[in-house]
Amino acid sequence: MFYKTKLKNNLRLIVSPISKTKTVTLLVMIETGSKYETKAISGLSHFLEHMFFKGTTRRPSTLAISTALDEVGGIYNAFTSKEYTGFYVKVASRHIRRAFDVISDILQNSKFESGEIKREKKVIIEEINMYQDTPMHYVGELFEQLLYGDQPAGRMVIGTKKTVSSLRQKDFLDYLQKMYKASNMIVCMAGNISSSRAKKLTEKYFTRLYKGKPKPKPKVKEKQTKPQVLVHWKKTDQTHLCLGVRTYNISHPDRYILALLGIILGGGMSSRLFISVRERLGLAYYIKASPEFYTDSGYLVIQAGTDTKRVKKACQVILDELRKIKKESVGKKELTKAKEFIKGATSIELETSDAQAAWLAKQEILTKKLRTLKQVFADIDKVNSRDIRRVAGNIFTNKKLNLALIGPHKNKEAFRRILRI
């Protein structure tokens, strides 16, 4: 159950009351992220997220902000993606006013002092170093770079050392005024709170938001006519790879079919790829398959860490499984297992107030629609084996194949030659 309304200032409010909990989560999500940035300010959305915690006119330092939430045992953080940015606080329900007071304060009264910006640049550069030194994470970034190239969708959310180093106070203030508008924001609450109280608190605390329409993001451009390979040389004991294909955006009617296809291929320890690549051949410690849905693009990717000497073999086994699933119908028992896997995992995930708030807010940001679990599960149950085979046949083609690798490799043509389905 949820309640949704639009306030007089065009701020959207979503409330999901949960009576059997003593906590409540306040999440403010903004429809902006790295896809809204130009190349010159790449990484600004993420940097701005950091700066909201550096001091306001009321709470002049990071310590003052964190102390206000630590005093009530709050759990709090923020996150930035390519299409949204979020700030949340989870507290005992009796402290919800404190959560509102702090979150509204940082979003409406932050100072963005030049000295703090200068200091935080060093922190973010170390964050970039951390990601680049973590192949399991960084290979996913390279995969999106391979897919989308030199456009916002192909750049890292965190930006580059060059762009982060060049940002100035004016960049933050300009971006804030362009993107952090009431019409572009959602206040989402889940937990032990009524919709009427949530509305009163939102109207009281969020009164100084920018008005007007935000700057739209550029549409993703996609063009691929043959298999693509990106090799990032790094001296490692294990090669990390992402092998995947372009698919559908989040509003596509086949999105749940694709989600089930991902589960069948690599959604658990009984999935096809886990059994064939790890259990039977011992080619990898981890292997998984998952779809990624954006508002205007999407992909299905298989990621693994494998013995460097046998990475081509691992790729060939993965490709064999893709050929198989597009040629042979999935059995009723396997499809039912995949459906119950998704429904069970989703139900478990949404047991907490913070997860429910994020689930609802992301729906509103990415699709402009709110759906109940019952509605989502009904769509999942409609999928049959013919749907799986149809979608597999549509996406698993040579011209849609993409492979990104991190490891001690230099000859990408050798990998391109094996990309055949």
Q: Which pLDDT belongs to residue 91?
A: 98
Alpha helices in 289-411, H assignment, sequence order: 311-327, 332-349, 353-367, 373-382, 385-395
CB-based contact 179:32 (threshold 8 Å): yes
CA distance linking residue 139 with residue 311, whole number of Å: 14
Name 407's Cβ contacts closer than 8 Å, sequence gap at least 6: 135, 232, 233, 234, 236, 238, 239, 240, 308, 311
Q: Which pLDDT belongs to residue 298?
A: 98
Q: Which pLDDT belongs to residue 19?
A: 87
The tokens of 158 are what? 């965190």
* Beta-carbon-side half-sphere exposure of residue 364 (alpha carbons within 13 Å): 29
pLDDT string in tens for the chain (421-residue length): 899 999 999 999 999 999 889 999 999 999 999 999 999 999 999 999 999 999 999 999 999 999 999 999 999 999 999 999 999 999 999 999 999 999 999 999 999 999 999 999 999 999 999 999 999 999 999 999 999 999 999 999 999 999 999 999 999 999 999 999 999 999 999 999 999 999 999 999 999 999 999 999 999 999 999 999 999 999 999 999 999 999 999 999 999 999 999 999 999 999 999 999 999 999 999 999 999 999 999 999 999 999 999 999 999 999 999 999 999 999 999 999 999 999 999 999 999 999 999 999 999 999 999 999 999 999 999 999 999 999 999 999 999 999 999 999 999 999 999 999 9
CB-based contact 360:191 (threshold 8 Å): no
* C-alpha closest to that of 338 among 237, 259, 254: 259
Q: Which pLDDT belongs to residue 84?
A: 98
Q: Which pLDDT belongs to residue 1?
A: 82
CA distance linking residue 141 with residue 380, whole number of Å: 29
49 is catalytic: yes
Query: What kind and span of H or E run contains 62?
Result: helix 62-70
CB-based contact 104:206 (threshold 8 Å): yes
* Beta-carbon-side half-sphere exposure of residue 243 (alpha carbons within 13 Å): 31
- Catalytic residue among 49, 116, 120, 292, which? 49
Domains of the chain are 3-205 (3.30.830.10), 228-416 (3.30.830.10)
